[in-house]
Amino acid sequence: MDVQAAVAKAKSYVTQIFGPEGATNIGLEEVRFDDEKSIWNVTIGFTRPWDNPSRSPLLPIADKRTYKAVEIDDGGNVLAVRNRHATEF
């Protein structure tokens, strides 16, 4: 599996499982391959309605994002989806 396939698999998986929760703005944040374990670690970011509750239009606040680390084996199987925090980048 190459990097493009790993990213596409991770984005598709996140869209499938978090889409019903209103996930939007789904995008790649980070990707790396663990040579020892032959596992792709792909971080996908997205927003959900509760990430950015109603706020005053006078207060400029950056949108919050949710980050998920998706582990995929080299055969294309999703092994895990874990929470990832922006401070970990």
Domain range annotation of the chain:
3-50+63-88
Instruction: Give per-residue burial for 17-30: e unless 16+ CB within 10 Å, then b.
Output: ebeeeebeebeebe
One of 3.40.50, 1.10.3470, 2.40.160, 3.10.450 is the CATH number of 3-50+63-88, namely 3.10.450
Q: Specify the DSSP element, H or E, that contains 54.
A: none
Can you read off the two tokens belonging to residue 25?
Answer: 């703005």
Q: What is the pLDDT of residues 44-68, one digit of tens each?
A: 999 988 776 665 565 555 568 899 9
Q: What is the pLDDT of residues 14-42, one digit of tens each?
A: 999 999 999 999 999 999 999 999 999 99
Q: Check pLDDT > 80 for residue 86.
A: no
